[in-house]
Structure formats: C-alpha cells, structure tokens
Amino acid sequence: MENFTAYNPTKLHFGKNIVETMHTRVGIYGKKALVIYGKESAKKYGFFEKVTNQLTKANIEFVEFGGIKPNPVIDDVNKAVELCKKEQIDFIVAVGGGSVIDSAKIIAIAYANNEDAWEIMKYKVKTTKSTPIIVVLTLAATGTEMNGAAVVQNHETHEKIGYVNELNYPKESFLDPDFTITVSKENTIYGIADMIAHSLESYFAEGEADLSDRLVAANINEIFEAGPELLKNLENYDLRARILWASTVALNGTLYSGRKSSGDWGVHSIGHVMSYLFDTAHGATLSVTFLAWMKHLKPRIEKRLEKLGYLLTGEEKTADETIKIFESFFKKIGAPTVLEELEICRTDMAAIKKYLIHTKASGMHYKLEEDDYDKILRLM
C-alpha cells in the first residue's frame, strides 16, 4: 500500500427534502450570496426558487448568474468573478451539475485571491484561500459535490483542463435524489458512464491497495445493478438515490486510499479533448474511450483486469472477459461504445490527435505517447 492522506472537509446532506434544511446552515457563511446555475433546468424545475427561498428565510441577500453551459468556459467564470467583485458577495451557492459547480469553484478561488482565473487553473499563481461554496446538486455524475477538482475549458488556449486544490472543496453539499428526477435519459446514461469511469480511473492508479480494489468493485456493482433499473424507471426515488450516492463515492476519496494518486486519468485526458473539439458530453466520451484504452493497454494491465473481473463476479475472468463485461454494460444502458455514436467521424481523427499532442494527454500511471494515441483512436 502507498502512503496516503485522507482528507474530505465537505459536509454532505443527503435525502428527501434535504434542501429545506439549508436555511439553518447558510447563515454562518455571510450575508450576501451569488447563486449560480446553468442554462435552463434550475428555473424550469423550480430548484432556483427552492434554494433562494432558503436564502430569504435565512435573511441572506443574493445576486444571480445563470447560463453556465455544459463543458463550461473560462469566459463565463471571468464574468461571474466581476459580478462577485461588484456585489461584494460573501459566498456562492451553486445549483446544478458538474459544469455549474466546477465553474463556482474557480470563481470562488479567483475572487478570494483577486487573481486571474485561468492563471490559477494553470497553477501559475499562489492561492491561499477561497470563497465558501454551498452546492445543491441536480445531476448524478461527476462527484464534484465532494471533491477538490474543477474542469473548465478555454477557447483561446484550446484546452479543457482540470484543476485540483484542497481549497476547492464545497463547504456543504445538499443532495436530494428528487432533484435529479428530471434529468433526461441521455444525461442519466452519461452520468452513469462517468461514475463507472471514475471508479475505473481509481482502480488503475499506481499502488497495490486491496481494500480500495474491493470498494471499486462494490461501487461498480452497485451501478451495474441500479443503473439499468433506473433507466427503465427514471422517476424512481430509490434508484435515483442509489445512483446519486454511487456517483459521489466514485470520486470523493473513498476509492483511492493507498494509491499514489486519485486515479490514472489517461482516459479522462483523452475524453476532455473530444469534449473540447466537438462539445461532446463528458460521460459519452468516457464509455467509448475506456473500452479502447483497456483494449490497447491490455498487455500492461492484464493482471489488473483479471483481478477486477474476479472482484466483480466472484469468478475467474480473463482480461478480455473483463473488458467484455464493461462493453456489454455500456451497450445495455445505451452508452456510446464507438466513435460514430458520438457523431465524430473517422476523418476527425487527425484533429483529435493534434489536440492530444497539444494537451500532452496521458495517464499519471500509464503514460501515453503519440503511438498510443493512434492505436487507441483506431480501437474506438
């Protein structure tokens, strides 16, 4: 087992009507909030109103910033930072999925340190503090509600990158499975692909950590069981709850203690290039890329795949059989498994490769070179 530090300061509140308790918590973070949300869902489904009612009940003034797009952009972050400065807000309430919450994390840190947001994301300036963030999660996928990561893209530098800092952890997150019931079938599928991918990224990080291996398998099995059932019944509270919690657990530190890093992240770095170039939904890039990555990396990860197959099924499995388990699952839930299903053409391969080189896409454990890009792309 590798040396490790376990740290997770987010206070997470989970369950039916849990947002109604928010007014009892938010007062300690100040008197004025920025409420940030996405394009449409927050207002359309009443989440914005429920959240701002809680702020009003706690005598907290608020200003709003809406319109954060999926695959969020640094321009919106910069605009919101200006609003924070103008309005002198004390804390941020993020209502939405990963795109909204990740934007909130970068806004919070840029505003608190009075530094340029992108410079922060490129680790070019020192940060010492952040603005408190309260999360109201509306989509099960990324785990950002209980971790220190944020992913934003920049069209000037042609990158979609992740930024990790322990200052980024939300102070408190409110997760009501009912808030995820309106998520479309398509976005539910992508979320499921993302949480599977996070579990797998953890599994393929460097370091022997037996308990973490078992926890990864347990989380994946939970998703294997609840995911397909949920897709048959999108309004089922218990299934939404199981998938919501599995998504948090997939990336809140539970699955990677005893490893050298939180994951390998090679597959994510390839997925980010596709999201950047084609605005493809994050989870959709991952089901395609993970299958190709496992097939290509098989000689390097054969024993790990065999162990994973055994942990998932209780039976001896070859590496190929383990890959097949994931391929069958993704097909069963309707997640894309080949490039064409992402509406990306084979002729786009050259552009993808160019940006893989530009962003130096690679894993922390399994390093990827140009030759790997070619082979992985061909397997998609």
Nearer to Zn ion, 83 or 277 (CB): 277
Q: Which does 191 bind (CB under 5 to 8 A by kind): ligand NZQ, Zn ion, none?
A: ligand NZQ
Report which of 73, 76, 131, 134 is spatially closest to residue 101, judged by C-alpha positions.
134
Strand boundaries in the chain, DSSP class E: 11-14, 32-38, 61-68, 91-96, 133-137, 149-154, 159-164, 172-175
* Cβ–Cβ < 8 Å for 36, 107: yes
Q: Which does 102 bind (CB under 5 to 8 A by kind): ligand NZQ, Zn ion, none?
A: ligand NZQ
Nearer to ligand NZQ, 244 or 319 (CB): 244
* Cβ–Cβ < 8 Å for 118, 74: yes
Interface residues with ligand NZQ (CB under 6 A) are 38-42, 45, 70-72, 96-100, 102, 138-139, 141-144, 147, 149-151, 179-180, 182-183, 187, 191, 194, 251, 268, 282-283
* Cβ–Cβ < 8 Å for 37, 135: no
State in angstroms the smallest separation of the CB of 162 from ligand NZQ: 6
CA angle centred on 257, ends 254 and 259, rounded to 5°: 135
> x/- binding map, residues 144-183, to Zn ion, per CB under 5 A?
----------------------------------------
Please name the residues in contact with 132: beta carbons below 8 A apart, sequence gap of 6 or more: 29, 30, 90, 91, 92, 108, 171
Q: Which does 284 bind (CB under 5 to 8 A by kind): ligand NZQ, Zn ion, none?
A: none
Nearer to Zn ion, 71 or 257 (CB): 71
Nearer to ligand NZQ, 144 or 362 (CB): 144
Q: Which does 177 bind (CB under 5 to 8 A by kind): Zn ion, ligand NZQ, none?
A: none
Nearer to ligand NZQ, 132 or 143 (CB): 143
Please name the residues in contact with 73: beta carbons below 8 A apart, sequence gap of 6 or more: 152, 153, 154, 155
Report which of 83, 84, 93 is spatially closest to residue 27, judged by C-alpha positions.
93
Nearer to Zn ion, 194 or 222 (CB): 194
Binder of Zn ion out of 176, 194, 222, 372 (CB under 5 A): 194
Applying CB under 5 A, the span of 14-22, 50-58, 183-191, 193-201 interacting with Zn ion comes to 193-201
Burial classification of residue 165, based on how many CB atoms lie within 10 Å of its CB (0-12 exposed, 13-18 middle, 19 or more buried): middle
State in angstroms the smallest separation of the CB of 85 from Zn ion: 31
* Cβ–Cβ < 8 Å for 337, 291: yes
The token duo for 78 is 């910069």
The token duo for 64 is 């709003």
State in angstroms the smallest separation of the CB of 94 from ligand NZQ: 10
Nearer to Zn ion, 60 or 189 (CB): 189
Nearer to ligand NZQ, 97 or 132 (CB): 97
* Cβ–Cβ < 8 Å for 51, 35: yes
Applying CB under 5 A, the span of 129-137, 192-200, 343-351, 355-363 interacting with Zn ion comes to 192-200
The span from the first CA to the last CA of the chain, in angstroms, equals: 34
Q: Which does 365 bind (CB under 5 to 8 A by kind): ligand NZQ, Zn ion, none?
A: none
State in angstroms the smallest separation of the CB of 160 from ligand NZQ: 7
The token duo for 65 is 């910033």
Residues that contact Zn ion, how many (by CB under 5 A): 1
Return residues touching Zn ion (CB under 5 A). Answer: 194
